[in-house]
Structure 1
């Protein structure tokens, strides 16, 4: 549905060249919700703005619904853009116009007949839960309601793609959750492909199918949400994941590990799916001549799959500890030795 091939975007700033995007290669499939996460300056906003040519790439290709936008005329690009809606962080509503007029704006610009405009806008306001706000002005709305107006406006021309540029960053957690529920509803009922740009990993976990992690204009990691969250490969991805997974070992535990010179048998265990609900550690302690001390633990859910993570100390003879690790391996429970300098 959307594909970036060797995409490069260079800005000229104060006589210097700034490489905002550096050889990006990504593919977003039709009907999926795809997230791009990165810190400020990573290049994610430049990336999303290349999809609807708010920014023209310096080189490379942007392919939307099979068409390479870089090879099209301005008129052809305008036709493609009719099928791309966009939601902004700060809503971009006109305060001098009513909710109805804000939502109707794309239809007015495309010279849609008035009766069709009225029908479409009324349907959309009902869909986003603002059926009673048609004659209200944006200043009279809450932040969440303003974003719902922005979403309705983005859907006005019946797009096949919806771009979300930090769409929830200005909202409180409860409102963010309701907006994400609405986006999931849009994706499911309209089969609209959604590309989300955010710096909030909780948003990625809640709504996305796949995710790309950007840093300094490059994609440094990409995969399913489950794979990236359960086993991040880069330090940047690990930093993002830790903000929502809460899998970092408390400093007090690290200090204890460092001070406990007598034991090096401390491991991080990860449980996936049904294994999170089984008493493996209890069985292990009964089966072998060992004691298991649980130092830290958490469990979360990724795309409907339970994911658990435990820090344990295995006390016993070296031969028994080795047998314990062999048992865990046979049960397909991942483990990694923990030191005071690594988690």
Structure 2
């Protein structure tokens, strides 16, 4: 659906060359909600804006629905861009236009009839839950309502691709959750592929099925969300994952462990899917002469799949700890020895 092939983007600033994108290669599949995450300055917005040609790559290719944007005529590019909607962090609504007029604007720029405009805008305002706000002005709306108008406007021309540029970063947590729920409905009910950029890993966790992690203009990690959360390969990805799913031992627990003079082994155990519901630790306690102490634990849900972290301490003789450890390794879990 969207393909990035070795995309580079450079700027000249103060006599120096700034590389905003460094050979980015990604594939966004039809039906994805694909998230791109990174810190400020990582190149996320620049990458997103190459899809609708608000940014022209210095080199490399961006292919949208089989069309190489670098070789399209102005006429064909204009036609293709009608198939790409975009929502913005700061909403970008016209303050002098009503909600209805803001949503209708992309249609009025074309050849859509008055009747079709009335029907389409009415449908979209109903979809985003703002039918009663049709004649209101942006300054009469909350932040969440403004973003709903932005989403409705982006969908006006019935696009198959929606670009989301930090669409929830200006919203409070409760409103963010409602907007993410709405975007999920857009994806499912209108069959729209969504490419979103964010610096919030919780956004990735809630709605995305695939994710790419960017750092200093390059993609340092990518994969499906469950894989990246379960086994982040880079320090940047680990940093973002920990912002949502904590998996380290609290310092207060470390102090308690320092006082323990017996033999012990500390393990970090990750459970995914069905293994999250298995009574593994109770089996360890029954089968082996080893005490099991849970030092830390949590469980969350990713794409409908349970995902949990446990940090446990095994105490006992060296032989029994080794036997218990081997048993845990044979279960359907990921195990990392901490000490």
TM over 0.5: yes
2:255 aligns to what? 255
C-alpha distance after superposition, 1:71-129 (max 9, x if no partner): 11222211110000000001000001100110111111123222211111111111110
Shift of 1:331: 1.5
Q: What does 1:234-273 align with in structure 2 at a 5 Å threshold?
A: 234-258=234-258, 260=260, 262-273=262-273
* 1:1-343 paired onto structure 2 within 5 Å: 1-258=1-258, 260=260, 262-339=262-339
- 1:85 and 1:239 map into 2 onto residues whose CA distance is 31
Aligned-pair CA distance for 1:338: 1.3
Answer whether contact 2:263 2:317 (CA < 8 A) is retained.
no
Per-residue CA distance 1:29-70 (angstroms, 9 max, x = gap) = 001110000000000000000000000000000000000001
Q: 1:51 aligns to what SS in structure 2?
A: coil
- Please report how far the alpha carbon of residue 260 of structure 1 lies from its aligned counterpart in structure 2 after TM superposition: 4.3
1:245 match: secondary structure: coil
SS in 1 for 2:50: helix
The answer to whether the Cα contact below 8 Å between 1:328 and 1:334 also exists between their aligned partners in 2 is no
Q: Is the 8 A contact 2:42 2:217 kept in 1?
A: yes
Return 72-81 or 156-165, whichever deviates more: 72-81
Distance 1:287 1:222 in 2: 40
- Which deviates more from structure 2 when the two are superposed, residues 316-325 or residues 134-143? 316-325
Please give the alpha-carbon distance, in whole angstroms, between the structure 2 residues aligned to 1:263 and 1:92: 62
TM-score (norm 2): 0.97
8 Å Cα contact 2:86/2:165 also seen in 1: yes
C-alpha displacement of 1:264: 4.8
Counterpart contact for 1:288–1:324, Cα < 8 Å: yes
Unaligned runs of 5+ in 2: none
8 Å contact kept, 2:263–2:318: no
- How many residue pairs match? The answer is 339
Determine the C-alpha separation between the residues in 1 that align with 2:215 and 2:151. 28
Counterpart CA distance in 2 for 1:243 and 1:249 is 14
Q: CA RMSD in A?
A: 1.2
Offset at residue 5 of structure 1 (A): 0.2
* Whole-angstrom distance in 1 between the partners of 2:179 and 2:311: 36
- CA offsets 1:242-296 (integer angstroms, 9 cap, x no match): 1111222211123344554654511111112122222211111111111111111
Q: Does the C-alpha gap of structure 1 residues 14 and 314 become closer, same or farther in structure 2, counting only changes over 3 Å?
A: same
1:293 & 1:50 partners in 2: Cα distance? 52
Alpha-carbon distance in structure 1 between the residues aligned to 2:304 and 2:188: 16
Determine the C-alpha separation between the residues in 1 that align with 2:212 and 2:197: 10
Is the partner of 1:336 in helix, strand or coil?
Answer: strand
Distance in 2 (CA, whole Å) between partners of 1:300 and 1:118 is 43
The 8 Å contact of residues 264 and 315 in structure 2, kept in 1 or not, is answered as no
Q: Secondary structure at the match of 1:180?
A: helix
Cα distance in 2 between the residues matched to 1:245 and 1:335: 17
Displacement of 1:198 after TM fit? 0.3
SS in 2 for 1:238: helix
The 3-state SS of whatever aligns with 2:18 is strand
CA distance in 1, matches of 2:85, 2:220: 27
